[in-house]
């Protein structure tokens, strides 16, 4: 059995030495337990937050802990009447090849319904984040302009496509020409802007001639600075993530821009609301129904960036925080 543990809390960008690959005895299931083999591990930006000791909505990892993460597992042995060997389940078993569970939180997947790893991506937590954040907070209307950051990624790619389904114009901000081409040519966004372009502000203004009605924030930093002046009156801002800041080690030095921000928020009557995907858990059935249907109709496309082998997880995770992935980042563990 292989586990990847947190060796040390990263300071700034995580380094390979912050992770430790450990070999342990294969676990044996006790009464009521199932033995799970990890087939797929999801790598997600929130894991960076768990590695830090800053107070957040979820408990931090301690050095020595197995790193947390969503997984798709196969039941290899079961002492639990609810599960049988061969079942495929969605779990939260983390960065390890085998684990034990009493069944709490496991959800059986039907491999005939959709490829099993989509339960970690378009039909799972990231897809649900896009759907609930955009529809509950963004509330895009036909003809409006929706801008999304990290637009080629697991969440952003779905946000833009749902915006178009709702009749809005979708503009994506992504890093580099390949990602920008991908979101326009393959996902059907109306326009794309490269956040590494030194002319980002002007390019964004050109891509949004009528201003921005909904900004789905995944990034913060320079991208937020470019978007903020273009927001229209009554713009809605689902605040989903701030990945540009996850490796920050200190607060940036002044000038203090808070008064300017507050003035604009007031005069433009902006509605900014932070959310965690679980806030909208009751939307689960509607999400599954709608997104499954949109995939069948070809209105939603998605892409997986697959890394082979658990030992590759640290490097792939380090890359995720700086844009090395194109699409939903997954580790094929077995």
Binding region for ligand NDP (CB under 6 A): 44-46, 126, 129, 150, 152-156, 174-175, 179, 195, 218-219, 221, 223, 240-241, 243-244, 275-277, 320, 322-323, 325, 329
Secondary structure of the chain as H, E, C letters:
CEEEEECCCCCCCCCHHHEEEEECCCCCCCCCCEEEEEEEEECCCHHHHHHCCCCCCCCCCCCCCECCCCEEEEEEEECCCCCCCCCEEEECCCCECEEEECCCCCEECCCCCCCHHHHHCCCCHHHHHHHHHHHHHHCCCCCCEEEEECCCCCCHHHHHHHHHHCCCEEEEEECCHHHHHHHHHHCCCCEEEECCCCCHHHHHHHHCCCCEEEEEECCCHHHHHHHHHHEEEEEEEEECCCHHHCCCCCCCCCCCCHHHHHHHHHHCCCEEEECCHHHHHHHHHHHHHHHHHHHHCCCCCCCEEEEECHHHHHHHHHHHCCCCCCCEEEEECC
In whole angstroms, the minimum distance from the beta carbon of 237 to ligand NDP comes to 13
| 91 torsion bin: left (phi>0), alpha (psi -120 to 50), beta (else) | beta
In whole angstroms, the minimum distance from the beta carbon of 90 to ligand NDP comes to 16
Q: 103 or 319: whose CB is closer to ligand NDP?
A: 319
Q: 29 or 124: whose CB is closer to ligand NDP?
A: 124
Q: 41 or 154: whose CB is closer to ligand NDP?
A: 154
Q: 34 or 154: whose CB is closer to ligand NDP?
A: 154
In whole angstroms, the minimum distance from the beta carbon of 184 to ligand NDP comes to 13
Q: 5 or 325: whose CB is closer to ligand NDP?
A: 325
In whole angstroms, the minimum distance from the beta carbon of 147 to ligand NDP comes to 13
Q: 107 or 110: whose CB is closer to ligand NDP?
A: 107
In whole angstroms, the minimum distance from the beta carbon of 201 to ligand NDP comes to 14
Task: Identify the bridge partners of residue 170 per DSSP, sorted by sequence position.
Answer: 146
In whole angstroms, the minimum distance from the beta carbon of 98 to ligand NDP comes to 26
In whole angstroms, the minimum distance from the beta carbon of 25 to ligand NDP comes to 33
Q: 71 or 152: whose CB is closer to ligand NDP?
A: 152
């Amino acid at each position: 059995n292989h586990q990847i543990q947190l060796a040390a809390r990263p300071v700034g960008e995580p380094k390979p030495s912050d992770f430790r690959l450990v070999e342990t005895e294969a676990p044996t299931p006790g009464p009521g337990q199932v033995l799970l083999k990890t087939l797929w591990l999801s790598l997600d930006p929130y894991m960076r937050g768990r590695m830090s000791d800053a107070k957040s909505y979820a408990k931090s990892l301690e050095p020595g802990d197995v790193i947390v993460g969503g997984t798709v597992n196969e039941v290899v042995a079961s002492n639990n009447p609810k599960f049988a060997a061969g079942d495929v389940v969605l779990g939260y078993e983390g960065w390890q090849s085998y684990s034990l569970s009493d069944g709490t939180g496991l959800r059986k997947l039907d491999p005939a319904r959709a490829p099993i790893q989509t339960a970690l991506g378009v039909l799972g937590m990231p897809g649900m984040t896009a759907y609930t954040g955009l529809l509950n907070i963004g509330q895009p209307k036909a003809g409006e302009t929706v801008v999304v950051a990290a637009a080629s990624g697991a969440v952003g790619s779905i946000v833009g496509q749902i915006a178009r389904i709702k009749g809005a114009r979708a503009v994506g901000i992504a890093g580099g020409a390949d990602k920008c081409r991908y979101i326009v040519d393959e996902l059907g966004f109306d326009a794309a802007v490269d956040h590494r372009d030194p002319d980002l502000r002007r390019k964004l203004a050109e891509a949004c001639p009528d201003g921005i009605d909904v900004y789905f924030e995944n990034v913060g930093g320079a991208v937020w600075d470019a978007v903020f002046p273009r927001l229209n009156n009554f713009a809605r801002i689902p605040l989903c993530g701030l990945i540009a800041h996850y490796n920050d080690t200190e607060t940036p030095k002044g000038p203090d821009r808070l008064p300017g921000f507050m003035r604009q928020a007031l005069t433009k009557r902006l509605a900014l609301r932070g959310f965690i995907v679980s806030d909208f858990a009751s939307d689960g059935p509607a999400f599954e129904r709608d997104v499954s249907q949109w995939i069948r109709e070809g209105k939603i496309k998605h892409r997986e960036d697959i890394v082979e082998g658990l030992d590759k997880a640290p490097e792939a995770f380090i890359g995720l925080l700086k844009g090395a992935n194109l699409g939903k980042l997954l580790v094929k563990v077995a």
